[in-house]
């Protein structure tokens, strides 16, 4: 049922929220394909994972701009939420690294 689905999704989210993974990949694991868009803090690129050949959108942030515009906490919250969420119609964070 929908109620059971939502209860399990909440449980999964809270478990992942409490113990977020650290540096699950590295830049060398991906081949950059092309830029999909640009924004205030950086760009989003289409990349291909070298070992799995899966395609992903990679958000690349300019740390200096994030710090200068006082967006550190906002950026860290976004990362933590995206790594914890697993829901239809929402983007899921598969990998992260510095």
pLDDT per residue as tens, the chain (98 positions): 999 999 999 999 999 999 888 877 999 999 999 999 999 899 999 999 999 999 999 999 999 999 998 999 999 999 999 999 998 899 989 999 88
CA atoms within 13 A on the CB side of 9: 11
- Is 90 inside any structural domain? no
Q: What is the pTM of this model?
A: 0.81
The answer as to whether 95 is a domain residue is no
Q: Which structural domain, as residue segments, surrounds residue 41?
A: 2-84
Asked whether residue 15 is domain-assigned, the answer is: yes
> Is 61 within the bounds of a domain?
yes
59 annotated to a ligand binding site: yes
Interacting residues of 58 by C-beta distance below 8 A, sequence separation 6+? 30, 32, 44, 45, 46, 47
- Give how many domains the chain has, as a whole number: 1
Both tokens assigned to 37: 């868009």
CATH number of the domain that residue 65 is part of: 3.30.200.20
Q: Is residue 91 part of a domain?
A: no
Residue at 92 is within a domain = no
């Amino acid at each position: 049922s929908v109620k059971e689905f939502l209860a399990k999704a909440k449980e999964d989210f809270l478990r992942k929220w409490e113990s977020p993974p650290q540096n699950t990949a590295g830049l060398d694991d991906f081949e950059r394909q092309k830029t999909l868009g640009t924004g205030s803090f950086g760009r989003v690129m289409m990349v291909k994972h070298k070992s799995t050949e899966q395609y992903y959108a990679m958000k690349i942030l300019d740390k200096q701009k994030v710090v200068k515009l006082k967006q550190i906490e906002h950026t860290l919250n976004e990362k933590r939420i995206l790594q914890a969420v697993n829901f239809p119609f929402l983007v899921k964070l598969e990998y992260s690294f510095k």
